[in-house]
Amino acid sequence: MIKTILVTGANGQLGNEIRVLAAHFPTLKILFASRNELDITDFDSVKKFLLDNEPKVLINCAAYTAVDKAEAEPDLAKLINTTATGYLADACKLAAIPFIHISTDFVYDGNKTLPHVENENANPIGVYAKTKWDGEQLALQKHTKTIVVRTSWVYSSFGNNFVKTMLRLAREKPELKVVNDQTGSPTYARDLADALLKITLLCETMKPWGVYNFSNDGTITWFEFAKQILMTREIPTPVYPITTEQFPTPARRPAYSVMSKEKMAKTFGITPKPWKLSLEECLKLIP
Ligand SMILES: NC(=O)c1ccc[n+]([C@@H]2O[C@H](COP(=O)([O-])OP(=O)(O)OC[C@H]3O[C@@H](n4cnc5c(N)ncnc54)[C@H](OP(=O)(O)O)[C@@H]3O)[C@@H](O)[C@H]2O)c1
């Protein structure tokens, strides 16, 4: 039987990757709603969209993702990442359908040195991180049938991201300097999209409501990531390691944001690909 699902924020990195994978999931009819088609901060429009289209699952890819800009726009970040996430959860509850929401590694306490597990205490730093934390918690409180997937360092051939920025800067500058004291795991948005669609197929029968981590497999710093990007593309621009102190940003980033993916693997049988393999796949698609 064909299952209709709705993807909000469909023009972002993740939304576009779900679009690419749609053909691999023939039992899903996916409705893609960009910001123009459905503004998630408009509660009436959200409710009407669900009533008119009757999706059986909602995946929310919409978010305020400008981490540094959020420090200067806290109200807008809160409206999109917290208040509107609550609207989506409320609307899904009214429609009695599962709500799949994406959150971030930034909710964890970045001062630890062991992979973060879903039920540990959170310590979001900065406006973006706090609004994402409040949003995921609000959704979980409002609607039982909520699945939150926390992810990290997302990149894709769509949109703007670290991979594309490094490729551009390597062409423009004689050398690159990249922070080497922030450790985490990259996530190819296509791998995340695949995981979300698999969860979509399983969620009504399994009822696996709650929080899950997902990223690619492996632990690196941004410096190591940059080096691998340039090496894979055989770009000779040298890359040098620097400290966070040498590269100050308006929003503070966690020093260590590696996440355990065991819960996702045990519950859904979804195991992440090694980060280098996924990076190679993505780089083939970026001119
Ligand atoms: N990117 C990362 O490194 C990263 C890391 C951890 C977690 N995440 C999370 O992963 C999820 C997907 O991120 P992404 O990288 O795909 O983000 P993205 O590329 O920035 O896409 C976000 C999308 O949300 C849309 N949007 C913003 N406000 C909206 C509104 N009011 N109504 C409807 N749509 C709206 C944007 O529309 P416009 O195209 O019109 O701007 C954009 O298309 C987000 O929840 C993000 O917080 C991302």
Residues with CB under 6 A from ligand 1: 8-9, 11-14, 35, 39-41, 61-63, 65, 80, 84, 102, 104, 132, 151-154, 159
Looking at the chain, the whole-number percentage of residues with pLDDT higher than 70 is 100
| Residue 117 to residue 101: CA distance in whole angstroms | 18
Atom of ligand 1 nearest to the CA of 132: 47
Flag whether pLDDT at 94 surpasses 90.
yes
Q: What is the DSSP letter of 12?
A: S
The secondary structure element, H or E, covering residue 139 is helix 126-142
Cα 65 to middle of ligand 1, angstroms: 5
**Residue with structure tokens 């940059």?**
226
pLDDT of residue 1: 84
Long-range contacts, stretch 241-250, CB < 8 angstroms, 24+ apart: 241/177, 241/178, 241/179, 241/180, 242/177, 242/178, 242/179, 242/180, 243/179, 243/180, 243/181, 244/179, 244/181, 244/182, 246/177, 246/179, 247/177, 247/179, 249/67, 249/68, 250/68, 250/69, 250/71, 250/72
- CB neighbour class for 72 (10 Å; exposed up to 12, middle 13-18, buried from 19): exposed
Closest among 160, 151, 221 to 191, alpha carbons compared: 151
Best residue for ligand 1 mutational test, from 31, 43, 59, 61 (most atoms within 8 Å of Cβ): 61
Q: How far is the CA of 261 from the centre of ligand 1 (A)?
A: 22
Backbone angles phi, psi at 251, to 5 degrees: -100, 135
Assign 3-class secondary structure to 215-272. CCECCEEHHHHHHHHHHHCCCCCCEEEECHHHCCCCCCCCCECCECCHHHHHHHCCCC
Assign 185 a pLDDT band (cuts: 50, 70, 90).
very high
Its CATH architecture, for the domain 3-161+186-216+258-273, is 3-Layer(aba) Sandwich (3.40)
Active site residues: 128
**Residue 106 CA, closest ligand 1 atom number:** 6
Residue ranges per structural domain of the chain = 3-161+186-216+258-273
204-237 pLDDT tens trace: 899 999 999 999 999 999 999 999 999 999 999 9
Which residues, 6 or more positions from 159, have their beta carbon under 8 angstroms from its beta carbon?
12, 13, 16
Backbone dihedral angles phi then psi of residue 158, each to the nearest 5 degrees: -95, 150
pTM tops 0.85, yes or no = yes
Rounded to whole angstroms, the Cα distance separating 23 from 26 reads 6
114 Cα to the center of ligand 1, angstroms: 28
pLDDT above 90 as % of the chain: 97
